[in-house]
């Protein structure tokens, strides 16, 4: 390798110390991500607090018992996709399990069909 001259050789003790520091930092990072994920899930599971949003969800056919903030995100994503927003369409397709890389040719048909709705 051309870069070996620039590399510093670590003693086993130094390598162990750096490895321990990296492991501790990795664990802390994982704990932060887990905490953030739990907080977000708690927010998404909360009931809808805005009456207008709640009524919109009911009007679209969701049961009052199952309406929460995650439903409102799905509704907002759907409404953006209806206007032809390609990134929203791709995200919706990903949510329902359709891989957009398989059938890119059908994307235009999907956009046109959603705009007709």
1 versus 12: the higher-pLDDT residue is 12
Nearest CA to 78 among 61, 65, 66?
Answer: 61
> Which residues are CB-neighbours of 76 under 8 A, at least 6 positions away?
none
Q: Helix 107-116 to helix 69-82 angle, to the nearest 10 degrees? A: 100
pLDDT above 80 (res 19): yes
Q: Are 81 and 92 in contact (CB under 8 A)?
A: yes
Which range is least confidently modeled, 8-12, 16-20, 58-62, 112-116? 112-116
Whole-model pTM: value is: 0.61
pLDDT for 73-115, tens place per residue?
999 999 999 999 999 999 988 888 886 565 555 666 667 676 6
């Amino acid at each position: 390798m051309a870069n070996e001259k620039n590399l510093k050789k670590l003693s086993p003790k130094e390598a162990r110390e750096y490895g321990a520091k990296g492991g501790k930092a990795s664990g802390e990072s994982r704990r932060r991500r887990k905490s953030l994920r739990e907080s977000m899930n708690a927010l998404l599971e909360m009931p809808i607090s805005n009456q207008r949003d709640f009524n919109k969800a009911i009007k679209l056919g969701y049961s009052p018992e199952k309406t929460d903030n995650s439903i409102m995100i799905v509704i907002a994503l759907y409404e953006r996709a209806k206007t032809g927003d390609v990134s929203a369409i791709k995200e919706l397709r990903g949510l329902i399990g359709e891989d957009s890389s398989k059938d890119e040719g059908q994307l235009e048909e999907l956009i046109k069909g959603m705009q007709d709705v």
